[in-house]
Amino acid sequence: MNNDLVGKRALVTGGSRGIGAAIALALAEEGADVALTFQNSAERAQAVVASIEKLGRRGVAIKADIADPAAIRRSIDEAVGALGGLDILVNNAAIARYNTIADFGLADIDALLAVNIRGPILATQAAIPHIKAGGRIITIGSAGADRIVGAAGTVYYMTKSALQSFTRGLAQELGPKDITANLVQPGSTDTEMNPANGESADLQRSLAPLGRFAAPADIAAAVTFLASPAARHVTGTILTVDGGLLT
């Protein structure tokens, strides 16, 4: 713990569990006050807030459906109001749907686009007026944007590929304001969505030279680096944390 983020205010979308919760806690451990959004898991969100507060930082849980544009705008306003401003936005909230193109239903396509692509766009759009020079926008993508494994991930990984262009464009747009924009791409990570003892876990391990799943804390470490003063000259970068999957 370096306390690199003392005095900073962060919002993590989808911060009640898994990678999002790990990011929220890691930012707080570095000194930031942290708001997080959740959709259904209020009890888990409050548990994360309690852990943040035990670190002596302010923690706020905000109920918001990232598929709902009005809820996104409200969550940004609530975070700014509760924390007194915003310095760091982490676009983490996402959903996964898997099927072949032939069998992909319209409702699932629309849900993926709404949460995984439109959500980060609208959250960033609402946050930019509040983020000053030195601010950070960090989005969570997937190593699957660069290497698709299996035949059912085409649409899901397409949404993650879109975040690469989104991040590069943001870096160009916000650089003159001294705001950085970066993308973290996790590989196989031990979460409820993709447990290290799951059905396809052995296959996933076999594809990465390190031969293991990441822990959520491994992804959070990449985010805290990008949020820190040490990364002040890093923008438009895709930081892949995948155990070597893409090598």
The single-letter DSSP state of residue 225 is H
Instruction: Name the catalytic one among 156, 157, 213, 225.
Output: 156
What is the residue whose two structure tokens read 């209020």?
42
Is there a contact between 55 and 64 (Cβ–Cβ < 8 Å)?
no
Superfamily of structural domain 9-240: NAD(P)-binding Rossmann-like Domain (3.40.50.720)
98 counts as catalytic: no
pTM of the model: 0.97
**184 beta partners:** 140, 239
Q: What span, in angstroms and rounded, lies between the C-alpha atoms of 235 and 171?
A: 6
As a whole number, the mean pLDDT across the chain is 97
pLDDT at 25 over 80: yes
Summarised one tens digit per residue, pLDDT across range 128-154 is 999 999 999 999 999 999 998 878 999
| Three-class secondary structure of residue 131 per DSSP | coil
pLDDT at position 246 is 82
